[in-house]
């Protein structure tokens, strides 16, 4: 069975995935940039000395190498790094740049009209 994901959707809108950084902070990622959402065990991350604090390290997934970015620290450098056994990661690709963005939770897909995006 196949589904037409554009059926009934306006061509003048874009889809975004809602992700949560905390109970009070969330943001949207364009669906067109998202590869997948994964749970990444800490032992699959190669930590990088002398990297900026928001770069946790590198990980290898599906024959590709991604930078793992702690979005909390990227947005607010005063936050302490999160140490955990596993990360919830949204993998994204933009212009051949592969990133894994750590998030606390994933929400729903939201459709937003193009003319309402700044």
pLDDT digits (tens, 9 = 90+) for 54-97: 999 999 999 999 999 998 888 887 777 777 899 999 999 999 89
Quick one: tokens of 83? 């140490």
What single DSSP character describes residue 81?
Answer: P
Q: Where do runs of H (alpha helix) occur along 1-118?
A: 71-75
Question: What whole-number distance in Å separates Cα of residue 30 and Cα of residue 28?
Answer: 7
Take residue 29 and report the two structure tokens written for it: 């990622």
Is 0.85 surpassed by the pTM of this model? no
Closest CA to 70 of 94, 42, 97, 34: 42
């Amino acid at each position: 069975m196949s589904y037409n994901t554009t059926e009934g959707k306006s061509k003048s809108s874009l889809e975004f995935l809602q992700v949560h950084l905390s109970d009070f902070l969330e943001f949207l990622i364009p669906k067109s940039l998202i590869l997948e959402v994964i749970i990444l065990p800490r032992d699959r991350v190669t930590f990088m000395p002398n990297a900026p604090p928001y770069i946790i390290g590198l990980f290898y997934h599906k024959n590709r190498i991604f930078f793992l970015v702690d979005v909390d620290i990227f947005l607010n450098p005063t936050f302490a790094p999160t140490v955990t056994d596993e990360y919830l990661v949204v993998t994204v690709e933009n212009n051949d740049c592969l990133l894994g963005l750590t998030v606390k939770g994933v929400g729903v897909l939201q459709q937003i009209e193009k003319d309402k995006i700044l």
